[in-house]
Amino acid sequence: MSILDDASAARRVRDPLDRMLQYLERHWRVYALIAPAIFFILAVVAYPIFETLRLSLYAAPRNSTVEVYVGLQNFRDIFADPFFYQLLWQTARWVVLAVVMKTVLGMLIAVHLNHDITGRKFFRTAFLIPWGIPYAISAVIFRWIEQPQYGYLNAILLKAGLIDQQIGILGDPSIAWLGAVVADIWIGTPFMAIIFLAGLQSIPQELYEAAAVDGAYRWQQFRYVTLPQMKSVILIATLLSTIWTFVGFDVIWTMTRGGPLDSTSTLVIWIYKTGFENGNLGLAAAFSAIGFVILLLFAVLYLKIYTRGDGESL
Amino acid sequence: MMTDEDLPESLSSTGFSRRDMMRASVGAGGMMLLAGCTGGGGGGDGGDAQTLQFLTMGVGNNIQAFFEENNAAFEEETGYSLDFTSITWDNAQSTLVTRVRGNEAPDVSRMPSRWLPQFKNLEAIDPLDDFMQGEFLDKFYPRVAETTIVDGSYYGIPWAYSNKALYYNKDLFEEAGLDPENPGIDTWDDMLAAAQQVTENTDTPAYGLPAADRLTTVSQYLPYHWSHGADIVDDSGAPVVNSAAGVEALEFYSSMVTEHGVTQSSPLSSTRHDVRKLFEQGDVGMHIGHVYVGLNIQNDETGTNYGIVQMPEGPGGRFCLATTDSMVMYSTAENKDAVRELLRFYYDTERRFQYSRDKGFMPVVKEVGDRSYFSDDPLWAPFVEASQYARSRPKLENLNEVTNRMVRAIQETVSGQNTAADALDAAQADLEEMIEA
């Protein structure tokens, strides 16, 4: 190997380092400016995630200063418990029904608001109200409505002769989750409607005109113009709604606390109950880790769709 | 010194506390610095003054003056200074645990007696057996004093107290053909018979039975369990919920829904708060409640004409659930003599009367309960009398977890999904694991 070769090899090694140093020299201000944000994210996002994953490997009762390392025992206990699968099923049916209904109702509202109807401005504002009310307050209102003794629902049904005695929806383990999911749908629909409305307004009018010239009726226009054009918007909105509904806590906790007989418990409710009410922080952290993985799948899907096409956002 | 009743806990529990300053100052021999840092009031009035951190919860307007006046009097009388803090109930438990773990515990504080096992386990509080004896111990209702015992030692001194009795709606009883002034309810069977009569002769549900997913569901059930001779744990701490007496109690309790239909509809969605409201509005005939039910009816002027009888007796006796708050001394307190002096000061009979009257809490001291303000009042008197039947929840570190499991057993039985025996057998199996763990 010649001296020349040695020098070029050294230059090759040095070059990337030099390039990095030069790059940092040119751009250090940028990194200095984003440093606080990075530290903030590390503190409020990365650290809690790390701490939860660490805690999931420990038996950590809240009323003790002692944490005992148990490895994957918490996870083994969870997977061996049939209630975990019941919990997954209850979470899945909650999320699916809520998201489907929010999507369908949101689309219906958006399509109607997109037309030049009388009082459109009023309806646009009115439909936003449920989203503007704190979730817990909406949940309390729905609990009142469904309350058997003095709730509106029972009063109306009794007056209309549809029932002959009071029914306690939230007290019946077979239907309590439906009573709670109604509140969640009511709260979450306006967001979907607004997103869909924005999407509808971005569809070029010429497409509808062309479809009309080709003899397409309203439904056909919706089926062959609106839906294909809205595909990405619908995907993003439903994915976001799925994530938010999955982690939704306020509505169920306020209305039923996961009862009766745990019939309205979802994974998130159970995490809270296990960790903060029953004091088993280690076990709750293990449940959280499982929930984290499930959510991560949705998040990856969301990112994939959002950045589809060589990293360009939609 | 100034009493900072509403000082947010975050300000007093984080950063450089007054005690830290004191330690630093004393360590450096900087008495001048101490005087400068502690500011005005009692804390800065002399180099040898010692400061006690006194923490309580939920000091409202009705009791603020009580603490302001008495803290000032204590400081003047003893020469100690008080760093007095009131935190909200919402995060009180976690705040105290955090402070204990961070070696920032106060010297003395109030806490619900059901937290005592947890703080004892954390080795955060000292036993007060030397205090709770002789004449001082005799001041308290015995059953109330017992609520502060953990593993045979007094770890707290009863500070505040609530108990329960059976409310009934006099107008409804009259409508049903019962004697409103003397309803003749002495046993659970009497209560059931009255409930059946109300159900048959009126349109109003007779008994408010909560069975929602709340810890208070068990609070309302416990008197049945105990008075049938059953318990949650035995003397050795082992769970015994599925004893024959326990099964009998839960069978009786659930039969009011499943067999006799004398309760409001949908007990599984009814919280204790819900049924209390129903009673206060006159929409249910009977309710196990504390003195506030009567006070609410008076204050809200709902017009419900109520009477109060003692908790019905069962084959195992007569019991009412007593919830007490205690004063505790922290093991990290530097001047325990000063803490004892503060406790002696606040347990003066006159001050206890002043506190119970102003705050509207049941007296924990017999001499206060005997005063005509309480003993001659038609609302307070039955509750003063009920002090002899007071019994607290079991002293368990994981009480919430155990209680949640009992909620499930109650729900299974009340909903008719399971028999009392099977529901309690399953609960017993789970409790054996929980309590062993």
For residue B46, is pLDDT > 60? no
Is A294 contained in some domain?
yes
Residue A286 lies in a domain: yes
Read off the CATH number of the domain in which A184 is found: 1.10.3720.10
pLDDT band at B29 (very low <50, low <70, confident <90, very high): very low
Shared domain check, A213 and A120: yes
pLDDT at A267 over 80: yes
Q: Rounded to a whole number, what is the distance in Å from the CA of B37 to chain A's nearest CA?
A: 33
Give B3 or A9, the one with higher predicted confidence. A9
Note whether residue A311 is domain-resident. no
Q: In this structure, are A135 and A35 located in the same domain?
A: no
Can you tell me the distance from the alpha carbon of A122 to that of A272, in angstroms, rounded to the nearest whole number? Answer: 39
Phi, psi of B159 (to 5 degrees): -115, -50
- The answer on pLDDT for A258 being more than 80 is yes
Produce one character per residue of A58-89: b if its CB has 16 or more CB atoms within 10 Å, e if not.
bbbbbbeeeeeebeebbbeebeeeeebeebee
CB contact under 8 Å between A149 and B264, yes or no, is: yes
Residues B274, A147: C-beta atoms closer than 8 Å: yes
Better-scored residue on pLDDT, B6 or B263: B263
Would the pTM count as exceeding 0.90? Answer: no
pLDDT tens-digit profile of A42-91? 999 999 999 999 999 998 776 666 678 999 999 999 999 999 999 999 99
ipTM of the complex: 0.81
Is A65 in contact with B122 (Cβ distance < 8 A)? yes
Decide if pLDDT at B409 tops 70.
yes
| Same structural domain, A46 and A92 | no
**Residue A154 sits in the same domain as residue A278:** yes
Share of chain B above pLDDT 90, in %: 73
Q: Quick check: A258 and B401 CB within 8 A?
A: no
- Mean pLDDT of the B388-414 span: 93
Would the CB atoms of A63 and B121 count as touching at under 8 Å? yes
The full set of domains in chain B, from first to last, is 9-161+324-383 (3.40.190.10), 165-321+398-436 (3.40.190.10)
Residues A164 and A234 reside in one and the same domain: yes
Which one of A146, A148, A258 has the shortest CB-CB distance to B213?
A258
Count structural domains, chain A. Answer: 2
In this prediction, residues B79-87 reach a mean pLDDT of 93
Q: What is the DSSP string of B352-369?
A: HHHHHHHHT---SBHHHH
Is the predicted pLDDT of residue B304 greater than 90, yes or no?
yes
CA atoms of B115 and B151, how far apart (whole Å): 14
- Using a 10 angstrom Cβ sphere, with 0-12 exposed, 13-18 middle and 19 or more buried, the burial of residue A212 is middle
Chain A partners within 8 Å of B400 (Cβ): 277-279
- Residues A283, A149 share a domain: yes
Spatial distance between the Cα atoms of A290 and B398, rounded to a whole number of angstroms: 25
- How many whole angstroms separate alpha carbon B372 and alpha carbon B358? 15
Regarding whether A128 and A48 lie in a shared domain, the answer is: no
CB-CB neighbors (< 8 A) of B121 in chain A: 63-64
Measured in angstroms, the CA of A291 and the nearest CA of chain B are apart by 22
pLDDT of B5 reads 29
In contact, A252 and A258? CB cutoff 8 Å:
yes
Q: For position A14, what pLDDT does the model report?
A: 67
According to the per-residue pLDDT averaged within each range, which of A1-15, B17-31, B296-310 is highest?
B296-310
Residues B113 and B156: beta-carbon distance below 8 Å: yes
The letter for the amino acid at A86 is Q
pLDDT of residue B371: 95
Whether residues B400 and A277 touch (CB distance < 8 A) is answered with yes
Same domain, A126 and A192: yes
Residue A60 inside a domain? The answer is no
Asked, for residue A70, whether it belongs to a domain, the answer is no
| A156 shares its domain with A49 | no
Domain membership of residue A66 (yes or no) is no
Q: Is the pLDDT of residue B11 over 70?
A: no
CB contacts, 8 Å: A148 with chain B: 264-266, 269
Q: Which residues of A touch B211 (CB under 8 A)?
A: 171, 260
Residues A111 and A187 in one domain: yes
pLDDT for B10 equals 31
Q: A277 vs chain B: nearest CA distance in angstroms? A: 6
What is the length of chain A? Answer: 314
pLDDT surpasses 80 at A143: yes
Per-residue pLDDT, B372: 95
Q: What is the pLDDT of residue B4?
A: 32
Q: Chain B residues within 8 A (CB-CB) of chain A?
A: 97, 101, 117-118, 121-122, 211-214, 264-270, 274, 278, 283, 397-398, 400-401, 404, 407-408, 411-412, 415, 417
Residue A63 lies in a domain: no
pLDDT band at B44 (very low <50, low <70, confident <90, very high): very low
Q: Are residue A150 and residue A202 in the same domain, yes or no? A: yes
CA B62/CA B361 separation, integer angstroms: 12
Would you call B269 and A65 a contact, using CB atoms and an 8 Å cutoff?
Answer: no
- Residue A49's domain comprises 3-55
Mutation site for B-interface testing, chosen from A58, A62, A63, A165 by largest number of B Cβ within 10 Å = A63
Q: Are residues A244 and A290 in the same domain?
A: yes
Q: What is the pLDDT of chain B when averaged over all its residues?
A: 87
| pLDDT range class, residue A2, cuts 50, 70, 90 | low
